[in-house]
Structures are given as structure tokens and as C-alpha cells.
Structure 1
Amino acid sequence: MKYFFFGFFLFVISFSHAQLQGIVFGIKNERKIPLKQAKVILRKAQTQVYTDEKGRFEIILSKELPDVLVVFAQGYESDSVMVTKSDRYTGMEIDLFESDELDEVVVEFKQDSKTFSRLKPLQVENLGEGELKKAACCNLSESFETNATVDVSFTDAVSGAKKIQLLGLDGVYTQLQMENIPFLTGLESSFGLNSVPGTWVESIQITKGTGSVVNGYESMAGLINVEFRKPKTMQRLFVNGYGNMLGRAELNVHGGQIINDKWSTGTFAHVSALQSEWDINRDGFRDAPLSKSGSFMNRWEYNGKKFETRFGINAYYDQRQGGQLYGTTIRYKAETTNQHAEFFAKTGFLFPNKPYQSFGVVYQFKYHESDGLYGLRNFGGRELRGYINAIFDGIIGTTAHKYKMGLSVVGQDLQQQLDSANFNRNVITPGAFFEYTYTGTRLTLVAGMRADYQTAFSDQKEKFQFSPRVHAKYALDEYTDIRITTGKAWRLPTVVMDNSSLLATSRTWVVSSSNEQEEVWNSGISVIRSMRWWNRATSISVDFYYARFNKQLIIDRERSTDSIFFGFQSNVSRSSTFQSELSFMPWRTITFRLAYKYLEVKASYAGSLRQQVMIPPHRVLFNVAFASRNKKWEIDGTVSVYSPMRLPDVTMPDGTHLTNEKSQVVPVGLAQVTRHFKHWDLYVGGENLFNFRQKNPIVSANNPYDPTFDATRVWASVMGTVVYAGFRYEIKRKTEKK
């Protein structure tokens, strides 16, 4: 596998062609600012692209040169540059000056709410604001329901906790970040997704594979980066209300204020509750736990000529009460409480005379406390965590050769307890990294290495961890990109909170070790092609990823009928993922999206290599989105079909031991209709439109203290069709005019 990737690098280098890259700046108040969504056009070739959030662009040069490159940006004078064959090997900087004209010109274009970045060497899937509004409700765990890349499912039938999966691996193997700051790590991993309203989010970037060494050592399956709304561009006031037929209600409010030309601030608030009790399948347990939660965030931004900073605080409280409504003398309870407080900051030092050079530092300090019980079993934890990452960007000679280097340190004081057992650790992990980026005509190559020192171990072999990573992007033509990636990642498992849902059984936990590292090599290849069918925008993506674990913590539920064994396996477990997706816009108002995904996730269970439980090998997704020409109506519908998945072995109340059972085929339907007004949006929709329910998700529900009790075999919705409605009200920021 490694030799294949090396050979592929040599092949694509030898066949490189012409690709022009550059950055567009706007000159405003004698300051340079990168211009987002500036239009860049090659006049003769009739090709165009738009700059990204940092003002960067890349465009394929045609064979007919010279040509004229024209750049447009709202509020700035357009500019044109002659490009010749000699520009194939150079980076370009274009400065646009503010326009003195009074008339305002608005340039609009139709873009899919989900796109793939053509600029980045890694496969990055971007979910925009439009995609997030398709989701039924407003928290991060529900923001991927119309997406084929990330799977979302309930962890058990009593707590209401949800988990995400990427490449068939649980969410703990996916690195979560908030604007490149670690996010929802450690004790937060089980319930933290519920604390982030979707209305706070500007966009989400999903990266498959090990990612950049700059972001850390933990991206084993991939990275999900969440971009929150920025104070300068967010609404002055935004209010969102939501309610569904089950009694769940949410209220989200945020607003931004520009204090002066350098300072701005944004404030976010969220409250939600569900206080209605439902038992549709009449098994005596709440189908959805009672809950109440609240979140608050305040962020600040300062933008100077030589210094920039972003900092803020984030806090939330979440409480859930599930379990029996009636039945036994001592009712079975499933209760959890999470409290969180966090300070985060990013500082950047700029060099006006050297725009491709910068120095930045990222900080994070957080406190998290979690407590809960399942029946008679108590669990909980407390975590103090600090993170600092210092990064220096520069070039070697020209912008074709860039590098990043830096130092990081992570400190964690973690306390976990399960009944009378403790799983505590105090660890400091300093690290250093270097990443080199070559930008050729059509080839972009990124090679990085990081070394981290783990103080939690006495074994010198375990103390040092090296994480090499290589990524490459090759543009076959102006419409087709090929990407390959390979790299190593590792993490320290948080045994209790990573697997707290498994406490919803009567089985005994047998943990052989909790302070060992998990290691994986993850490699992948992807092809993305943008084209036109019948003169309509179309894109196709195909990718394959293979993850091989050097060491992994395996939860074996097949070895015994009354125990769950936690133990590390070496060079056994693996994951193979294939995904293809087609997006087609047959009319200006309608977009179709069709996706297929195949998952093979295997490890050794009870001495034999078997597919991991609760992983459907096949998934098909179909999405259709309609937006009227006058932009007043939007209709969105999604259908996902999951193939039968292997279920964990279980002992029934009559003593029968069921093995190698599989679930049914699971169809899931979602739909939403939105009506836009000047300041208001009103929407109504439905979840689980096919009314498909798992009728008996809990084994021994009438006797939860029996040794056969098991509430973890959840493979479909426990609820029937759920209808919801909501509103959005916003006061947008006025556009400045000269």
C-alpha cells in the first residue's frame, strides 16, 4: 500500500500541467484584507472560479495562451492581468481597490448547499448554511441527517444519547474542532453534540482520513471542523423557535455587534426542554428521556494591521432523565447530568510586507463534569484540560514551496469512576510538527511529520509517538481532481465515557487495561469531477478509505453471556469504506443528490474475525431540494435506506441465547417545507415519514434488574412519525455604502 502511494506520486509529478494559483486582497483604509467570493475569470477560456474564505483561488490554464485573467469583487474596482506560459509555475497576488461608485451591483450565483473544496489537497466536504437548515432540529448531532458521509444513531434505548460515525468508526475516532480548536473531546464525547445548536453554525467541513499534522495526532477516521458565525458578518439579531408533537421545544438567539473598525463581538444563547412522557411501544420505558439544557457563548474579535485575535467563553448544562414509567417496585432510572465551562482564544501576528508569513497561537482551557446512573450502576467523571498550539507559516523561495512548523502541548487531569472502580489519569503531551506543501501546476503535495511525547507511560516505546502523513491532489483537467492520502494517528481512549451506553445492560464490565494507546494507519483515494449534463451543473465523487489498526481497544460482547470484555488487540481490526455520490441540477430550481456507501468494519470477537455490531454494510441516500425562483419557497426531502446490520449476541428471558442475528432493512424519510418572508422564515416538516419503528428495542423490559436486561440493541427509531414546526426571525446587518 505504501509503495503504491509513492509510485503514484512519481506518476502524477511526471504528467503535471498548468494550474494557476493566487490570492485576492482588497485595499480598505490602507489595510489588506483577503476577499471571499471574488469572481476570477479567464476571458478566452471562459472558465471561472470563486475565492475561498482566505481569498485564495486556483484555476486551470488552457492551452491557448496568453489569456486575460479578470477579477471582480463587490465594492471594489475590477482588475485584469495578462497570463502567459511563464505564469504556470508562479503564485499570483491581486490587489483590488475600493470603488468610488455610488451604485451597488449584486452578483448572484446558484451553489449547492453541500460542496467539495477544489483548492485543498485533502478531500474536504463543506456543509453550508442551506444544508444545515434542512435538518429537522437545531443541534449538531442532528445536522448530518441529510448527509451520506456521516452516520448518526442512538447509542441505547434509555438515555437519548446520539453518536456519529465516520468511515464506519465511532465518533471518538473522529477529531472534532471549533475553528481549528479542539472541541467536544474527552468526557464531552457522549452528550456534547446536543449542546451545539445548528443555528450557531455557519458551516461544517468534513475531512476523511488522518488530516494535517498541524491539527494534532487524533484524527484517526477524519476531522469535522465547525465554523461558528462571525461577529462582523452574522445577523444583528436572530431568533429561532422549534417545537414538535412530542413536546420538545427549543429557543435559539444570537446577535453580533460591531463596536468599531477593529473590535466586534457576538453573543449566542440556547435553551431546550422535553417534559412530555411517551411510551408508544408500551414496554414501560420512556421512548424519549425528559430533558432540559442550556448553552451560552460569547466571542470577541480584534483585527489590527499587525495583530489579530479571537477569544471567547462557552458554557452549557444538560440534564436527561430516562427509564421506567411504571413496573417494578424500584423503577429503573437512566439519568445523566453534564456541566461544562471553557475559554478559547486564537492570536495571529501578521507581517504586512510578507503576506505569506504569519505566526499564530491557539489556546483552550476547559472544565467538564459528568454524572449519571443506569439502574443501580453509578458512573461519572471530571476533566480539566489545557491546550496550546503555536504555528508559524512561511515560504521557501516562492509561494510554490510553503511550510508550517510549530509546537503544541496538551494537559489533561481526568477522573472517571464506575461504581467502586476508578479510571484516572494525569497526562501531559508535548509535541512538535513540520509540514511542507508543494504547489505545482496541477499537483499539490503535502508531507508532514509530528512527534509527541506521552508522559502517562513508563515504557519508552509508548512514550514517543511519531505521526507521518502525506496528502496529494492532482488536477487531471479543469473539471477532475484525484486525491490520495496516507498517515498514522493515535489516541488515548476514555474508557467509561466513550462507552457509557453499554451500562444500559446487566452485564459486568471486564477491563484489562485503560491506559494504552490506540494506533491506526489510514489511507485513501478519491476522485471528484465537476461537469455539465445537458448544460446543467453536475458533480460526481468516488472515494475508498482503508484503516488498519496497529492497536485498538475492542469491546467484545460475544465472549461471554454475562460480561463485556474490554481489551486491546494488535494488527487485527480494520475498516474499509467505499462511497460514491452524484449531484445533479436538472433545472435551476431543483437539485438531486444520490449516494451509496459500503462499510466493512471487522475485528476479532470471541476468537474469530467478524463484522462489528450495529454497522449496516450498505446505505443508500436520495435527496431532492427545490427552491422557487422568487426565493420564497423551499422544499427538501431525504430518503435513506440502511441494510440489515449484525446485532450483538443476547440471552432472552427464557434462557435462549441468540447469536448472529441481523436487523431488518431500515427506511428513513425526512421532509421539510419553508416559506421565506422579509424578516421571517416559517417551516414545517416530518421525521421518520415511513413510520418505521423498532417494536421491542429492550430485552427484559419488564424486569430491568434481571441478568438478561439489555437496552443497547437499538437499530431503528423507537418513535413513529414526528411532525415539527418552527420559525426564524432575523435582522440583517446593513451593507455599508460609500
Structure 2
Amino acid sequence: MKYLLITLILLLALISNLQSQTVSGRVFGFTGSAKDTLAGAVIKVIASKNGTITDEKGYFTITLSPNEPQFIAVSYFGFKPDTIDIKDKEYVEVILVNDFSTSEIKVSDSKHTFIENSGAKTEVLTGAEFRKAACCDLTGCFGNNSSIDVAVTDIITDSRELKVLGLEGKYTQVLLDNQPLVSGVKTKYEVSSIPGTLINSIKISKGTNSVIQGYESIGGMVNVLLMDYENSDRLLLNGYINHGMEKQINANYAGSLKNLNTFSSFHTVQKSNRIDKNGDGFLDNPLITRYMLFNKIDFGENNGKDKFLGNLGIRYWNEERIGGQRNFNKSDEGSDKIYGQTVKINSGEIYSRSILKLSGSDELKFLINGSLYSAKSFYGFTNYDANQKNIYLNAIYDFELNHNLNLKFGAGFKYQNTEEDIKFLSQTPKTYSGNYKNIESIPGIFSELSLKVFADRLNIIPGLRADFHNEHGTFFTPRILVKFMPTSSTTFRLTAGTGLRTVYVFNEYTNALASSRNIILNYGNPLEPEKVINYGIDLLQIYDFGAVSGNINIDFFRTNFRNKVVADYDTDPNLLIFSNLRSNSFSDAFQAELNMNFLKLVDLKLSYKYLYSEYELNGIKYEEPFEAKHKMLGSLTFSAPNDLFIFNINMQWYGKQRLPSTAKNPLEFQRPDESEPYVIVNTQLTKRIGMFELYAGVENLLDYVQPNPIIEPQNPFGKYFDTSYIWGPVKGREFYTGFRFYVK
């Protein structure tokens, strides 16, 4: 019955538009002598609530009912709005003129979060969103976002991951400036190494995405767009300190040198005091020292004259983390007398994105990057060293056959050389020491078509790629994205596709290196790549009642694993067994979200998320551990006129989580089979004073901490010592303050 009702609603929506006028067009911005398309320009029918926004290439389509005025208002921040007569017209080209007296002004977006009008649902977090919190690094930018879960993967070193659809962070593809720089063994710490002041915006896509970005996006994709000359302030200084005395300093500078525009950034973290609030003898947070340097050079301008343009980015990152027992020092590395964990990281990256303009809107894009990564770690007396070399090449030919048909095709190459070396420096029954090498050499080809029909109400984007792996042979990745807009305020999206990824169990489960568990790798059989089929549906409903506006967003995704590498914690509490599971494994994710804006001053977000993952092992069905089945988020933000001050408070509620069985442990080392629900509340106040912004806040306001997070902490070299039972926060209430100084 419900399917019949939905069908009737869609038919009525289409029938109601049969007598309507449909107008398509494209919006350009004109600054000095430069003319460029404007993505995200607002199109509204005069004296009506009917409206839309332009897509990534500046195109729009809007349908008017017979009784609506035949005029549209077009606006974009930083440009003079214009009113266009569209009577009896099917296509219009709109050119907006820059509203400022100097061409140096930067075009920015005052929205905190919005959804792009593109084929794939893409949620965009802007700089306004990041100002709601300290946002010290990438993992700290999602406190008010319900699509991304940030989870701690190692209680001692505080490494973190970004989870989409409830799947572990290893299933999330993270891009930097559209480039797959975060991959392999680098992922564990790299997501925490990118300072918030370096981030211009973040794009979040759920499920499988475009084949152009590769075959590895399974749970979703997080594309972190970094600052450059065009979107940064000329100078930014940022300082931060928390009550544990951890300090951060950030500096950005943008300038010009002849025909080149350049952006530079410096970031450092200096270690905190030693804190053991719960009295278990272990530090509540690691002592972190980090330095990062970044530079990006832009060449050419997108002004219609320059045929070749692009950028070149370079990043160096050095970091040291020390955690463990309170009195542990770096000089105690590898000791079997006092327990500690350390990691020393050196990493360098270089990347380039260039565009060759051809006739019309056709263009040839080149993406190139390379990186070197070295991490030397100690987990007690276990020495774990990881080294990785990456080379990535991608060439894309993007051409427009007509307004309704666009084709992209190209070829790519990925080379990844990873070496993991494990040594035990003391007697132990563990058996997994050795040198683990993995070389991946993968050329590939791909093609993606974008078809728009029914006056752009329906957009179908099928794609296919073929990759030729040096070890796993040839595999194909088909994907399809469908967007349907029965009205200008209602959007349905469907996605489906396959994905594949190789596993790095030691790096992905480093908390096992810290425990007394012995690691068993499929009893000597090779672990195969994980293969999935992911599909989902999304509904976005935009509303505008004048003083109150916003949207309602509902989505559901299912991930079926054709092969999954399962971490078996349950068979034996002294073992962690990894094995291939070729069937009966899936994950469901449902999310409903309400966003409301009152008088353009108050933003309210309410969301609910349901997650359930299951696998079958040896005839027994298990729910995935360490994942709350039910989650809720509430966020309230008040922004004073002209953003003179911003106040934000958010609440996150986590339901119960299944925990691995410890029934075979002695009674004093047993833990419950499920966690307790808990609430985390964060708040921050930001005040603008001239060229300064001052902010102060509290994380975990209610001071909730997971009880007894470490099993047998008094004997870290004993049989039952385990740090992998992480299901809640281990740091209590944290006060912080900071400043930002801007020169425009």
C-alpha cells in the first residue's frame, strides 16, 4: 500500500507540472576581466517560494506554475543580484557582476552546512561550521554533524578514525584536495594531523561514489578541501590551550609572487601535562608533539583566457606521541618493566592538479601525487615499524556532448609499497613477529556518463572502471547514481555500486598490539581483499516559511560483504583471529535529520541514526562489537548579526553496544557483554572583537567517562591485559580557550 501511495504522489507531482513552464540556464560571475561559472547561485521566482540553486558547473533548471510571475531573481554572495525576464524562454544565460570595488575580494559562503545540487548527495561543511568548535584537527570538525562518527581506535595513543554508515574508518575514503593521499598504513594518524585552520571545506558523500575517485570508497567519502590563495585570509594566527596544558599554534599566510599565488601554513602541537584522572596508573591522554608545514602554489587563472591552470601542494608532517603508565618516559621504549606506547612519524607529500582547457567547456584534468611515510612505534616490548611509498596518477577527459549529456573517461595508476616489521624485545608466547611486505601496482581505466532528462528533473550517472591488480588480477567496479527532483524543493537519490579494499590488519587493529592477545592471521591462509555491494536511497525535502527555513533529510543504506576480513574477539579472550568471511555479513544504516533556521539567527539540528551490522562465523551470528545501534544528535547555534558572537551547544546520545565476551577470564577481569548508554555535551562561545576572535568552550560537559577501560592495568605484561575494550570516552570534562587573529 505504501508503495502505491508513493507512486501516486510522484504521478501527481509530474501531472501538476505538465502545464508549467520549464526554464534552464547557466549563471556566470564577472570580476574585472574574469568570467567564471557560479556553483551554488540562488535562483528564486519573484513573489514566490519556488527556487533552486545552480550545480557545480553553474547550470540550473526551474519549473514555474501557470500563475507564477515570469521573473526570476538570481543572487550569489559577493555579486550584485539580478532580476531576469524569462517569459516565453527555455534557456537563459545570467551574468552577475562583482559587488566589490576590488577584484581581490574573496567569494565565501556564509552557510554553515549545505547540500550540493549534484548527482551524488554531497554534504558540505564550510568555515562557518568549523567556528562552532575549536576544531583543532580534522577529527574535531564533526561535533555538530550526524553523518560522520569519530571513534578512538587506540586508547593509549588516542588515534582516531572517521566512520560513515557505522562502518569502521578503514571503509571511508579520505581525500585531500580531491587526491587519495590518505591510504594504507598512513590512515591511522594522518586524519588527526590536518589542522582545522588549514581546512576550507569538507565534502561528505555516503555509500559508493564516482568511479573516477577509484574503487575504495565503500562506506563513503570525505573530501577535505584545503585553503589556498583565493579562499584564505591574507594572514591568520590561531592559538589554543586546554586545562591539561596542551597547546596549539597555527599560522596561515597568502601572498602573490609575480604570476603565482601562494598559500603557506604552519601548525604545531605541544604536549600536555601528565593526567590520570581515573587513577588506573595510565595517562588519560598521550603527550603529543607535532609540527606540520604546508605550501600550495596556484598557477594560471580560470578567466577564459588561460588554457592551462592548476596548483602544486607540498606537506611535511613530523609527530611524536608518548602514552602508557604515568611514569613512562621515551627512554623506557621497549621495556618489559614499565609499560608505554610511543610513535615517531615522518611524512612528506607532494601533489598537483592541473587543467588543460579545450574547446567550449571541454577540459583535460591531471591529478598526480606521491608520498613517503615512516612510523616507528613501541607497544610495550613490541616494536612495530611501518613504511609506505605511494605514487598516484590520474588523467580525466571531461567533455559536454550537449546540455543534457556529459561524458568523463580516463585512466589512472596507483603504486603502493608497504612494509610492516614486528619484533618482540622480550620473551612472549605471541607468534606474529616478522616482516610483512605488500606491493600494489594497479593501472586502471574508467568512464562515467551524466544524462539529464525531463527538463533536468532526472539525472542518471552510470560509471564503470576496470583495474588490473598485480596480485589479485582484474576486477570491475560498476556504479550508478540517480537524482530525481519532482519539484524544486524535493530530491530523491539512489546509489548502488561495488567496492574493494586490501587489508592492513596490524595497522588497523594496533590496539591488539598493545594487548596480551596473540594475533592469528587466517591460520596461515592469505587474507583476501574485502569486496562489497552497497546501495542506498535518500530523500531531501527543503522548506521555506519565511522566518523559518531548513530541510528534512532521510536516508537508508545497506552494505553486503562478498568477502569480509573478520576480527574474531569472541572465540578466545587470549586470541584475536582474522579470517575471510565470504557470505552472511551485512551492515544497515538509517538516518533521519531535521535542520531548521529561525530568522537567520538560530540554527537547530536534530537527528536520529540506527546502525546494525552482523556477520556469521562458524554457524553463529554475531552483531559487530563496539557500535551503538541507536544514536541521537541535537545541536543549537545562535549567530548574532554580523557574527559578532556565536554560541553553540550540542548533545550526542549513544545507545548500548555489544562487547566481546570475556566470560573465560577470571571474574575480576571480566566485563559486561554490553555497554551502558551515555550522553556527551559540548559547548562553545565565540566573540569577535575587531580583527580578533576569542573563543572558550567545554568538551564532555557532564564529565562522563567509560569505567575501567583497561583490563588488568596493574599488570600490563600479564595474561589478561587488554586495551581494546573502547566503547566510550576515556577523557573527562575538558575546558579550553583560544583566539584567531585575521588580516583580510
Q: TM-score, normalised by structure 2?
A: 0.90
Q: CA deviation at 1:476?
A: 2.0
Q: Is the 8 A contact 1:65 1:84 kept in 2?
A: no
Structure 1 pair 367/48, CA: closer, same or farther in 2 (3 Å)?
same
For the pair 1:338 / 2:381, whether they are aligned, the reply is no
Structure 1 pair 404/574, CA: closer, same or farther in 2 (3 Å)?
same
CA distance in 2, matches of 1:323, 1:406: 49
CA distance in 2, matches of 1:274, 1:411: 35
CA distance in 2, matches of 1:422, 1:488: 32
For the pair 1:284 / 2:296, whether they are aligned, the reply is no
Percentage of identical aligned residues = 27
Map 1:340-359 onto structure 2 (within 5 A): 340-351=347-358, 353-355=359-361, 357-359=362-364
3-state SS of 2:403 partner = strand
For the pair 1:483 / 2:493, whether they are aligned, the reply is yes
2:94 match: 94
3-state SS of 1:141 partner = helix
Q: Is the 8 A contact 1:152 1:162 kept in 2?
A: yes
Q: CA deviation at 1:714?
A: 1.7
For the pair 1:375 / 2:376, whether they are aligned, the reply is no
Q: CA deviation at 1:529?
A: 0.6
Residue 294 of structure 1 aligns with an amino acid whose one-letter code is Y
Q: CA deviation at 1:77?
A: 6.9
1:318 match: 319
Structure 2 alignment gaps of length 5 or more: 329-334, 424-432
Q: Is the 8 A contact 1:598 1:617 kept in 2?
A: yes
3-state SS of 2:232 partner = coil
Map 1:726-737 onto structure 2 (within 5 A): 726-732=738-744
CA distance in 1, matches of 2:368, 2:309: 14
Q: CA deviation at 1:535?
A: 4.3
Q: CA deviation at 1:22?
A: 3.7
CA distance in 1, matches of 2:226, 2:193: 14
1:427 match: 440
Residue 454 of structure 1 aligns with an amino acid whose one-letter code is H
Structure 1 pair 109/336, CA: closer, same or farther in 2 (3 Å)?
closer
Q: Tell me which of 403, 414, 417 is aligned to 2:418.
A: 414
Structure 1 pair 75/706, CA: closer, same or farther in 2 (3 Å)?
closer
Structure 1 pair 76/592, CA: closer, same or farther in 2 (3 Å)?
closer
Q: Deviations over 1:94-129 (max 9, x none)?
A: 345668x9799x999996412222x11111111111
For the pair 1:645 / 2:681, whether they are aligned, the reply is no
Residue 604 of structure 1 aligns with an amino acid whose one-letter code is E
Q: Tell me which of 496, 499, 504 is aligned to 2:506.
A: 496
CA distance in 2, matches of 1:561, 1:329: 22
CA distance in 2, matches of 1:481, 1:154: 35
CA distance in 1, matches of 2:79, 2:546: 35
Q: Is the 8 A contact 1:325 1:331 kept in 2?
A: no
Structure 1 pair 588/171, CA: closer, same or farther in 2 (3 Å)?
same
CA distance in 2, matches of 1:659, 1:288: 23
CA distance in 2, matches of 1:107, 1:337: 39
Structure 1 pair 155/12, CA: closer, same or farther in 2 (3 Å)?
farther
Residue 724 of structure 1 aligns with an amino acid whose one-letter code is Y
Q: Tell me which of 43, 46, 64 is aligned to 2:46.
A: 43
For the pair 1:384 / 2:389, whether they are aligned, the reply is yes
Q: Which moved more, 1:495-504 or 1:647-656?
A: 647-656
Q: Which moved more, 1:622-631 or 1:24-33?
A: 24-33
Residue 579 of structure 2 aligns with an amino acid whose one-letter code is G
Structure 1 pair 365/668, CA: closer, same or farther in 2 (3 Å)?
same
Q: CA deviation at 1:41?
A: 3.6
Map 1:568-717 onto structure 2 (within 5 A): 568-605=580-617, 607-650=619-662, 654=666, 658=670, 661-717=673-729
Q: Is the 8 A contact 2:107 2:231 kept in 1?
A: no
For the pair 1:68 / 2:81, whether they are aligned, the reply is no
Q: Is the 8 A contact 1:135 1:144 kept in 2?
A: no
Q: Is the 8 A contact 2:581 2:617 kept in 1?
A: no
1:252 match: 250
3-state SS of 1:194 partner = coil
Q: CA deviation at 1:561?
A: 2.4
1:114 match: 113
Q: Which moved more, 1:411-420 or 1:427-436?
A: 411-420
Q: Tell me which of 482, 492, 508 is aligned to 1:472.
A: 482
CA distance in 1, matches of 2:175, 2:64: 35
Structure 1 pair 151/318, CA: closer, same or farther in 2 (3 Å)?
same
Q: CA deviation at 1:145?
A: 1.9
Q: Is the 8 A contact 1:636 1:673 kept in 2?
A: yes
CA distance in 1, matches of 2:83, 2:597: 31
Residue 169 of structure 1 aligns with an amino acid whose one-letter code is L
CA distance in 2, matches of 1:13, 1:86: 23
3-state SS of 2:641 partner = coil
Q: Tell me which of 464, 467, 471 is aligned to 1:456.
A: 471
CA distance in 1, matches of 2:201, 2:98: 28
CA distance in 2, matches of 1:502, 1:542: 37
Q: Is the 8 A contact 1:493 1:514 kept in 2?
A: no
CA distance in 2, matches of 1:139, 1:535: 35
Q: CA deviation at 1:81?
A: 4.7
2:408 match: 404
CA distance in 2, matches of 1:405, 1:102: 41
Q: Is the 8 A contact 1:232 1:257 kept in 2?
A: no
3-state SS of 2:212 partner = helix
Q: Is the 8 A contact 1:44 1:68 kept in 2?
A: no
Structure 1 pair 334/529, CA: closer, same or farther in 2 (3 Å)?
same
Q: Tell me which of 192, 195, 199 is aligned to 1:194.
A: 192
CA distance in 1, matches of 2:653, 2:207: 25
3-state SS of 1:559 partner = coil
Q: CA deviation at 1:12?
A: 12
Residue 527 of structure 1 aligns with an amino acid whose one-letter code is L
Q: CA deviation at 1:93?
A: 4.0
3-state SS of 2:154 partner = coil
Q: Which moved more, 1:264-273 or 1:641-650?
A: 641-650
3-state SS of 2:370 partner = strand
1:240 match: 238
CA distance in 2, matches of 1:467, 1:47: 39
2:332 match: none
CA distance in 2, matches of 1:280, 1:103: 55
CA distance in 1, matches of 2:242, 2:740: 15
CA distance in 2, matches of 1:230, 1:402: 29
CA distance in 1, matches of 2:42, 2:553: 24
Residue 400 of structure 1 aligns with an amino acid whose one-letter code is N
Residue 24 of structure 1 aligns with an amino acid whose one-letter code is V
Structure 1 pair 693/103, CA: closer, same or farther in 2 (3 Å)?
closer
Q: Is the 8 A contact 1:44 1:67 kept in 2?
A: no
2:429 match: none
